[in-house]
C-alpha cells in the first residue's frame, strides 16, 4: 500500500547490479575452487541463480551481500525447467558449462511478460564455435567435443548472447571475435572478473570483443558494480515527488543519458565520485526519449520514467526499441489516471496534473517499480499486487522508500508456487 504525496529526501545506498551479479555467479563455474563475489544483492533472482549453481553441484553460501561459491564438486551439466521457469537468465550457464565440460542440458525458457525473448543469437553464436544443439522434451542439449574460437557477428547487440558467448570463448581453443557486441557496463564487469581469473579479453565495452582462449581459470574475489537500474529507479522516485535524494555508491558514468534526460525534465543533478544527488525543484517537464542498447537510454528504466512523464508538464513521446511488448503495464498506469496512448513501439504520454490511487498489478520487475513510483505521486492509497515481481530485482524496496519518507506499507502476499 502506497499513500502518495510525500516528498522523498535523504540518502539511499544503491546495491550491487543484479544483471552483473547473475553473470558473475555463472562465471564462477569456470574455475575449480572457491570464488567470492561481493556486493551481490539478496534478491530473488540472485537466490535463484544460487539454486542453479547448487543444482550443478556447487556449494553456495551467503554472508550479508558476500557470496562464496565452491565449485570443487560442480560436475553437473543440467539446469531444470523449475529453475529456468523462475528466471530465464538461468540459460547464462550454457557458456561456462560448455567451456568447462563440453556439454550442457538446459531447459528452454518460455515467454515472459516483456516479449518473446528468443535465444537464437546465443545458439547461432555457439554453433559457429562448434557446438551442436538438439532439443527434446523442452530441453536444449548442447555438446561441443571441441569448442573452437570463431568470428561471430550478432544481428543485435544482445546482452545475454554477448555474455554467454564470452564465457564460452574464454575457454575455447583459439581466437574468438564477437562483432556488434553489447556494451553494457555489466559486460565490462564480467570481462573484468574473467580477466582476473586468467582469461584473455580485449575490447569489452566496445562493439568488438576479442578473446584468446586459455586452458584453465583461477577462482578469484570480485566486487559487483553498483546497480545503475536501481539507482535510476530511486532517482525517478525522487523526481516524481519533487524530492531531493542522495544515491550512495551510484556511478554517474553508467547513467549518462538517464541523468541528461532527468536534467532536461528539470532535475538538478550533482554527480560525485561514488554518489549522485538528484533533486527536482518543481513539476517535471515533458521529454522525448528512445530506448536503445547501452549507451542508449536503458529499456529497464522505461516503465519508471513513463510514470514520471505521466505527470509532467506537456506531452512526451517515448519509443521502445529493445523489447517488443514492454508497454503492457501502460493499461495499469492509465487506470491511475495517466493519459498514455501506444501504437506499436511508440507511446504518447500527455502529462496530467495528478494521478489517482487505484488497485494495480506489478506485471514484471520494472513495471512493478513503475507502479510504486506512480503511487508515490497519486492522490490516495494505491494497492500494488503481485509484488513478487519487484522482489526479483529490488532488495527491501518498500523499506528503503519508507526510509526516504515515503508512506509505504507492505502486506506480505502469498508467493506463487516455487517463489518462496
Residue 115 is a binding residue for ligand UD1 (CB under 6 A): yes
Residues 83, 142: Cα–Cα separation, whole Å: 18
Residue 300 is a binding residue for ligand UD1 (CB under 6 A): yes
Residues whose CB falls within 8 Å of the CB of residue 359, separated by 6 or more in sequence, listed in order: 382, 383, 385
Backbone phi, then psi, for 256, in 5-degree steps? -45, -60
Helix (H, G, I), strand (E, B) or coil at 323: coil
User: Which string of x and - marks every residue 61-100 that binds ligand UD1 (by CB under 6 A)?
Assistant: ----------------------------x-----------
* Stretch 178-207 residues interacting with ligand UD1 (CB under 6 A): 182
Rounded to a whole number of angstroms, the minimum distance from the CB of residue 160 to ligand UD1 is 3
Give the residue among 416, 360, 357, 409 at the shortest CA–CA distance from 392. 416
Residue 110 is a binding residue for ligand UD1 (CB under 6 A): no
Nearer to ligand UD1, 1 or 112 (CB): 112
Residue 323 is a binding residue for ligand UD1 (CB under 6 A): yes
Residue 304 is a binding residue for ligand UD1 (CB under 6 A): no
Residues 153, 113: Cα–Cα separation, whole Å: 28
Choose the stretch contacting ligand UD1; rule: CB under 6 A; options: 8-16, 155-163, 312-320, 335-343. Answer: 155-163
> What is the chain's alpha carbon radius of gyration, rounded to the nearest angstrom?
21
Residue 120 is a binding residue for ligand UD1 (CB under 6 A): yes
Rounded to a whole number of angstroms, the minimum distance from the CB of residue 268 to ligand UD1 is 27
Rounded to a whole number of angstroms, the minimum distance from the CB of residue 79 to ligand UD1 is 15
Minimal CB distance to ligand UD1: which residue?
160
- Which listed residue (1, 13, 36, 112) is catalytic? 112
Look up 112 and say whether it is catalytic.
yes
DSSP state letter for 412? P
Contacts 24+ apart (CB under 8 A), 197-204: 197/27, 197/30, 197/31, 199/170, 200/170, 201/166, 201/170, 204/166
Query: How big is the site for ligand UD1, counted in residues (CB under 6 A)?
Result: 21
Choose the stretch contacting ligand UD1; rule: CB under 6 A; options: 118-126, 217-225, 234-242, 336-344. Answer: 118-126
* Helical (H) or strand (E) element with 308: helix 302-309
Helix (H, G, I), strand (E, B) or coil at 71: coil
Q: Where would I find the H helices in 107-153?
A: 120-128
The residues that touch ligand UD1, with contacts defined as CB under 6 A, are 19, 22, 89, 115-122, 156, 158-161, 182, 299-300, 322-323
Residues belonging to the active site: 112
Amino acid at each position: 500500500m502506497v499513500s502518495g504525496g510525500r516528498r522523498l529526501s535523504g540518502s539511499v545506498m544503491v546495491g550491487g547490479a543484479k544483471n552483473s551479479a547473475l553473470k558473475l555467479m555463472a562465471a564462477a563455474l569456470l574455475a575449480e575452487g572457491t570464488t567470492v563475489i561481493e556486493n551481490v544483492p539478496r534478491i530473488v533472482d540472485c537466490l535463484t541463480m544460487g539454486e542453479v549453481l547448487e543444482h550443478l553441484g556447487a556449494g553456495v553460501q551467503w554472508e550479508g551481500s558476500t557470496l562464496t561459491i565452491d565449485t570443487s564438486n560442480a560436475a553437473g551439466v543440467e539446469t531444470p525447467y523449475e529453475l529456468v521457469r523462475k528466471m530465464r537468465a538461468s540459460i547464462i550457464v550454457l557458456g561456462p558449462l560448455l567451456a568447462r565440460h563440453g556439454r550442457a542440458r538446459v531447459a528452454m525458457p518460455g515467454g515472459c511478460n516483456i516479449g518473446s525473448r528468443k535465444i537464437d543469437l546465443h545458439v547461432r553464436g555457439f554453433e559457429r564455435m562448434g557446438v551442436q544443439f538438439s532439443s527434446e522434451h523442452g530441453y536444449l542439449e548442447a555438446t561441443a567435443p571441441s569448442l573452437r574460437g570463431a568470428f561471430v557477428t550478432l544481428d543485435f547487440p544482445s546482452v545475454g548472447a554477448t555474455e554467454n558467448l564470452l564465457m564460452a570463448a574464454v575457454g575455447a581453443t583459439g581466437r574468438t571475435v564477437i562483432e556488434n557486441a553489447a556494451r553494457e557496463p555489466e559486460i565490462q564487469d564480467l570481462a573484468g572478473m574473467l580477466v582476473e581469473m586468467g582469461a584473455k579479453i580485449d575490447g569489452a565495452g566496445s562493439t568488438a570483443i576479442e578473446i584468446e582462449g586459455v586452458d584453465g581459470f583461477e577462482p578469484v574475489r570480485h566486487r559487483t558494480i553498483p546497480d545503475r537500474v536501481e539507482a535510476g529507479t530511486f532517482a525517478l522516485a525522487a523526481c516524481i515527488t519533487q524530492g531531493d535524494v542522495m544515491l550512495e555508491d551510484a556511478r554517474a558514468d553508467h547513467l549518462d543519458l538517464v541523468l541528461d534526460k532527468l536534467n532536461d525534465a528539470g532535475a538538478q543533478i550533482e554527480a560525485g565520485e561514488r554518489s549522485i544527488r538528484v533533486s527536482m525543484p518543481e513539476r517535471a517537464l515533458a521529454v522525448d526519449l528512445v530506448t536503445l542498447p547501452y549507451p542508449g537510454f536503458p529499456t529497464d528504466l522505461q516503465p519508471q520514467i513513463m510514470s514520471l512523464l505521466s505527470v509532467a508538464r506537456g506531452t512526451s513521446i517515448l519509443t521502445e526499441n529493445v523489447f517488443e511488448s514492454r508497454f503492457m503495464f501502460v493499461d495499469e498506469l492509465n487506470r491511475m489516471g495517466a493519459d498514455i496512448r501506444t501504437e506499436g513501439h511508440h507511446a504518447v504520454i500527455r502529462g496530467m496534473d495528478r494521478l489517482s490511487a487505484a488497485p494495480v498489478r506489478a506485471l514484471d520487475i520494472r513495471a512493478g517499480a513503475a507502479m510504486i513510483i506512480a503511487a508515490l505521486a497519486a492522490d490516495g492509497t494505491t494497492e500494488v499486487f503481485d509484488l513478487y515481481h519487484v522482489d526479483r530485482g529490488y532488495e527491501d524496496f518498500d523499506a528503503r522508500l519508507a526510509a526516504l519518507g515515503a508512506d509505504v506499507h507492505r502486506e506480505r502476499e502469498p508467493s506463487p508456487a516455487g517463489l518462496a
